[in-house]
């Protein structure tokens, strides 16, 4: 016997007696549908109560965030007022700070310093007495003394040093809850309302302005007092027979009430019962046809496919089991294969999303840090330029003063001044670490030798009990860096390590060659990796995230500037490399400096410049300098050495002198000057109009790059003897 025949017999055996009981079934469905409808309404009311509670919790969360504001802890009400104005969620919301006695300190609805009410208008004080002051409280509806509208208040305590010092209130207009009411999309026949503890209407789905502030019926109040949720019969405010469903908003103690006309409640069950009766009648007629049409299919395999489809839709693995029906087995096998492919694709997608999010966060952090460094660099660059001009004047003047005096005491004072200027030059060089890299200060050095020279600097700042180790691979590649900034970066890392090891520990410095693939923070290629590792206290994740920001420090005031790691990061970035910082609390910190391999030969070690009195130079020098003090001092030094010096205060004047036929042996110009022609521009013009004319440029600090062939660059402040030696050599070659 075929399965469809079996199904036909089975259905007839069931439907015939079932049809006889259709009347009972219709009545039962009517009752069940009505009960189900009431349960559905109760669930909707309960969900609405939770939404109201969630809305109040959002406001509580804002207040909790404001309560932990550092400006409030410091007592800076002006900064806190600005912060509160920004965080007030809507224009209908106000942030109020009160003393424990209820006196208002500020209210964002009025300007800071405006007269404020002397006491609370809400019933928060009564709630504090009954429920306690150390918890979040929600007041009942009241009229605001400032705006005159119906408001309610959410209050949280503000603890400072473990004690309640203030109360932070959010005054919210009752009308703001109308948006929440509208989002529920209750049927037009339903009337929903939010009611406070006193039975006053806070918000209503219909005619809200007319009914806001009015009390619900005494019958409703009795029902509210009897339980946290329920249903009751009565008449609504329009006098229509209705059934009310209510639920309590957690914590706040408010109620939400939905009133549905009795006729509306009866309509759905009657419709369902009528519909069921029609279906029962149609089933008897269609049973044979439907059984013959669909009897060919087996129930079991269909249910199996249904379960497999559900597993596939929810991302679970589909297990294949043969059903002995060819078509169903084919589909089931393909669903199992599709399940496996989906799982693999989902895992791959999750991995790619995680990698993309990580890369995006790293790129954003690098961009923000780069912007901070660029801003700081512009500030320090201008300061560095001006200081280097002043130091150049002092350097030259002191050398000239040494020529004019033979008194030992005066010479001693001049030597002291020279040492002071050298120290100021080093300090000014530290400022330059946050600006653009200066070509005049670059040198191609051997990293191992540079590290050995820096080791004594680091050892001098370490305390007793800290072991210092240096490990360098053989045949390290050369790097092109600013040696002073390299030493300063290592010194700053050593100081940070020292402060992280108050009880002693180990500081290890190592260097090795490495080849890297390109990443978000650096390009690929050959690098020299300098690693500085300590066994100190380490950094927490939130501190590590900001450790490279300028001026960020966890040290006590006066014990740290917050520029140590920032300078090391700036040095690595200036050198076309990168800095990677990693730290684990309790285990220590690791700093990796990646410096790109240089293809240039090692720079010669600086030699001793000849003394000015020992020199006998000759030649005509065009000296272009906008700073009058530098111009006067350097001109005097060049003339003392034997040069004929022609002076121009800016690039335009120098160009005019050249075009007038001025015959010179060497042009010596500052880079940064007022006007349209800088020193670099002047060098380019002279290269075109006077090929072969030697050009020397001097810079205290500049954003421009002087990379023209044949143009030499001196960094201010320079020794006058070094300048004379350079200019004399170029003059003799011309």
How many other C-beta atoms can be found within 10 angstroms of the C-beta atom of residue 398?
19
Average pLDDT over residues 355-363: 62
Which segments within 451-520 are labelled E, that is strand? 466-472, 479-481, 505-516
The C-alpha atoms of residue 270 and residue 273 are separated, in whole angstroms, by 5
For the structural domain made of 1-296, what CATH number should be given?
3.30.450.20
Tell me which residue has tokens 């393909």: 334
Burial class (CB in 10 A: 0-12, 13-18, 19+), 13: exposed
Residue predicted with more confidence, 329 or 384: 329
pLDDT band at 2, cuts 50/70/90? Answer: very low
The C-alpha atoms of residue 175 and residue 182 are separated, in whole angstroms, by 11
User: Domain segments of the chain: what residues?
Assistant: 1-296, 447-596, 612-733
Tell me which residue has tokens 């209510």: 246
Q: 38-47, 421-430, 547-556 — which is least confidently predicted?
A: 421-430
Joined tokens for residue 194: 């939010």
Average pLDDT over residues 7-16: 66
Q: Which CATH number fits domain 447-596: 2.60.40.10, 3.30.565.10, 3.40.50.300, 3.30.390.10?
A: 3.30.565.10
Estimate to the nearest angstrom the gap between the alpha carbon of 60 and the chain centroid.
24
109: alpha, beta or left? (left if phi > 0; alpha if psi -120 to 50): alpha
Joined tokens for residue 715: 């960094």
Q: Which CATH number fits domain 612-733: 2.60.120.10, 3.40.50.300, 3.40.50.2300, 3.50.30.40?
A: 3.40.50.2300
CA angle 273, 276, 281 (to 5 degrees): 130
Average pLDDT over residues 278-293: 67
Q: What is the pLDDT of residues 521-543, one digit of tens each?
A: 567 899 999 999 999 999 988 88
The C-alpha atoms of residue 536 and residue 548 are separated, in whole angstroms, by 18
Joined tokens for residue 456: 């004594």
pLDDT band at 400, cuts 50/70/90? Answer: low
Average pLDDT over residues 218-228: 88
pLDDT at 252 over 70: yes
The C-alpha atoms of residue 161 and residue 639 are separated, in whole angstroms, by 71
DSSP per-residue letters across 16-60: HHHHHTHHHHHHHHHHHHHHHHHHHHHHHHHHHHHHHHHHHHHHH
Alpha-carbon Rg for the chain in angstroms? 42
DSSP 215: B
CA dist 631 to 31, 648, 715, 719, Å? Answer: 105, 9, 16, 15
pLDDT band at 426, cuts 50/70/90? Answer: low
- Note whether 472 and 447 are within 8 A (CB): yes
Q: For all residues of the chain together, what is the average pLDDT? A: 79
- Note whether 11 and 287 are within 8 A (CB): yes
Tell me which residue has tokens 């706040």: 252
Q: What is the pLDDT of residues 538-553, one digit of tens each?
A: 998 888 887 887 766 7
The pLDDT assigned to 733 comes to 72
- Note whether 371 and 692 are within 8 A (CB): no
The C-alpha atoms of residue 618 and residue 644 are separated, in whole angstroms, by 7
The pLDDT assigned to 455 comes to 84
The pLDDT assigned to 427 comes to 53
Q: 126-130, 265-269, 711-715 — which is least confidently predicted?
A: 265-269
Candidates 248, 258, 117, 252; CA nearest to 186 is 258
Candidates 294, 281, 273; CA nearest to 15 is 281
pLDDT at 132 over 70: yes
Average pLDDT over residues 549-574: 72
How many other C-beta atoms can be found within 10 angstroms of the C-beta atom of residue 337?
12
Q: What is the pLDDT of residues 321-351, one digit of tens each?
A: 776 667 777 777 777 777 777 777 777 877 8
pLDDT at 248 over 90: yes
Q: What is the dihedral of CA 661, 664, 670, 672, to 10 degrees?
A: 20
Burial class (CB in 10 A: 0-12, 13-18, 19+), 694: buried
Tell me which residue has tokens 């590649």: 477
Tell me which residue has tokens 């207040």: 63
The pLDDT assigned to 405 comes to 58
The pLDDT assigned to 610 comes to 47
pLDDT at 164 over 60: yes
The pLDDT assigned to 19 comes to 66
- Note whether 682 and 655 are within 8 A (CB): yes
pLDDT band at 647, cuts 50/70/90? Answer: very high
Q: What is the pLDDT of residues 195-217, one digit of tens each?
A: 999 999 999 988 888 889 899 98
The C-alpha atoms of residue 650 and residue 624 are separated, in whole angstroms, by 6
pLDDT at 254 over 90: yes
The C-alpha atoms of residue 394 and residue 401 are separated, in whole angstroms, by 10
Q: Please name the helix (run of DSSP H) or strand (run of DSSP E) that holds residue 476, with its range, or none.
A: none
The C-alpha atoms of residue 264 and residue 242 are separated, in whole angstroms, by 9
pLDDT at 1 over 50: no
Question: How would you list the strands of the sheet with 255-261, edge to edge?
Answer: 201-204, 191-195, 255-261, 241-248, 229-235
The pLDDT assigned to 329 comes to 73
Average pLDDT over residues 563-588: 87
The Cα diameter of the chain in Å comes to: 135
Question: DSSP alpha helices (H): ranges in 295-444?
Answer: 299-313, 326-404, 408-431
Q: What is the pLDDT of residues 433-490, one digit of tens each?
A: 554 444 446 788 999 998 988 887 788 888 888 999 999 998 999 999 888 888 888 8
This prediction has a pTM of 0.39
The pLDDT assigned to 470 comes to 92
DSSP per-residue letters across 651-710: HHHHHHHHHTT---SEEEEESS-SSS--HHHHHHHHHHHSTT--EEEEESS-SS----TT
Average pLDDT over residues 709-734: 78
- Note whether 488 and 571 are within 8 A (CB): yes
Average pLDDT over residues 595-616: 69
Question: DSSP alpha helices (H): ranges in 432-482?
Answer: 447-461
The C-alpha atoms of residue 627 and residue 650 are separated, in whole angstroms, by 9
Residue predicted with more confidence, 663 or 406: 663
Reduced to 3 states (helix: H, G, I; strand: E, B; else coil), residue 516 is: strand
């Amino acid at each position: 016997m075929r399965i469809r025949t079996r199904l036909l017999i089975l259905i007839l055996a069931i439907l015939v007696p079932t049809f006889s009981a259709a009347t009972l079934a219709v009545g039962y469905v009517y009752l069940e549908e009505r009960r189900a409808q009431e349960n559905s309404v109760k669930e909707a009311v309960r969900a609405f109560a939770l939404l109201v509670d969630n809305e109040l919790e959002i406001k509580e969360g804002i207040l909790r965030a404001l309560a932990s504001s550092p400006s409030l802890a410091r007592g800076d009400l002006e900064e806190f007022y600005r912060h509160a104005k920004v965080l007030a969620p809507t224009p209908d919301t106000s942030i109020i700070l009160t003393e424990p006695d209820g006196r208002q300190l500020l209210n964002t609805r009025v300007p800071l310093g405006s007269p404020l009410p002397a006491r609370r208008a809400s019933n928060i004080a009564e709630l504090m007495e009954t429920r306690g002051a150390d918890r979040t409280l929600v007041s009942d509806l009241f009229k605001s003394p400032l705006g005159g509208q119906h408001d309610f208040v959410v209050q949280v305590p503000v603890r400072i040093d473990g004690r309640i010092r203030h109360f932070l209130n959010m005054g919210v207009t009752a009308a703001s809850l109308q948006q929440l009411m509208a989002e529920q999309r209750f049927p037009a026949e339903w009337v929903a309302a939010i009611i406070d503890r006193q039975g006053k209407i806070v918000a209503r789905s219909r005619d809200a302005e007319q009914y806001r502030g009015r009390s619900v019926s005494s019958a409703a109040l009795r029902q509210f007092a009897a339980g946290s949720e329920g249903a009751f019969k009565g008449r609504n405010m329009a006098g229509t027979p209705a059934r009310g469903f209510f639920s309590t908003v957690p914590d706040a103690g408010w109620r939400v009430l939905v009133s549905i006309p009795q006729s509306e409640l009866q309509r759905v069950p009657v419709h369902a019962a009528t519909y069921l009766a029609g279906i029962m009648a149609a089933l008897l007629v269609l049973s044979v046809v439907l059984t013959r049409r669909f009897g060919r299919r087996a129930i079991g395999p269909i249910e199996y496919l249904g379960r497999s489809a559900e597993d596939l839709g929810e991302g679970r693995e589909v297990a294949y089991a043969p059903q002995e029906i060819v078509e169903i087995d084919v589909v089931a096998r393909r669903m199992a294969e599709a399940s496996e492919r989906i799982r693999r694709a989902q895992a791959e997608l999750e991995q790619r999303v995680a990698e993309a999010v990580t890369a995006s966060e790293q790129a954003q952090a690098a961009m923000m840090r780069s912007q901070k460094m660029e801003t700081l660099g512009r500030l320090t660059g201008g300061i560095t330029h001006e200081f280097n001009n002043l130091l150049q004047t002092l350097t030259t003047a002191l050398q000239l003063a040494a020529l004019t005096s033979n008194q030992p005491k005066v010479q001693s004072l001049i030597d002291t001044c020279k040492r002071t200027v050298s120290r100021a030059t080093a300090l000014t060089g530290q400022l330059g670490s946050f600006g653009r890299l200066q070509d005049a200060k670059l040198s191609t050095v051997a990293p191992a030798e540079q590290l050995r020279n820096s080791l004594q600097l680091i050892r001098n700042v370490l305390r007793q009990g800290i072991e210092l180790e240096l490990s360098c691979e053989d045949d390290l590649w050369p790097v092109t860096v600013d040696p002073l900034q390299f030493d300063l970066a290592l010194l700053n890392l050593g100081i940070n390590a020292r402060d992280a090891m108050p009880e002693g520990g180990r500081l290890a410095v190592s260097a090795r060659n490495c080849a890297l693939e390109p990443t978000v923070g650096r390009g690929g290629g050959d690098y020299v990796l300098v690693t500085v590792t300590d066994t100190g206290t380490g950094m927490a994740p939130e501190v590590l995230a900001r450790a490279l920001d300028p001026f960020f420090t966890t040290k006590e005031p006066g014990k740290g500037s917050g520029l140590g790691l920032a300078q090391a990061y700036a040095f690595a970035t200036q050198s076309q490399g990168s800095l990677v910082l990693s730290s684990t609390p309790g285990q220590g910190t690791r700093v990796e400096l990646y410096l790109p391999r240089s293809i240039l030969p090692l720079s010669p070690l600086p030699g001793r410049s000849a003394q000015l009195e020992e020199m006998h130079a000759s030649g005509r020098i065009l000296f272009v300098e906008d700073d009058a003090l530098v111009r006067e001092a350097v001109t005097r030094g060049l003339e003392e050495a034997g040069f004929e010096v022609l002076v121009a205060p800016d690039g335009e004047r120098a160009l005019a002198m050249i075009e007038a036929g001025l015959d010179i042996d060497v042009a010596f110009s500052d880079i940064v000057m007022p006007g349209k022609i800088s020193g670099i521009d002047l060098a380019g013009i002279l290269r075109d109009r006077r090929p072969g004319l030697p050009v020397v440029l001097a810079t205290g600090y500049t954003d421009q790059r002087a990379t023209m062939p044949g143009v030499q660059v001196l960094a201010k402040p320079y020794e006058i003897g070094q300048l004379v030696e350079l200019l004399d050599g170029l003059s003799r070659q011309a």
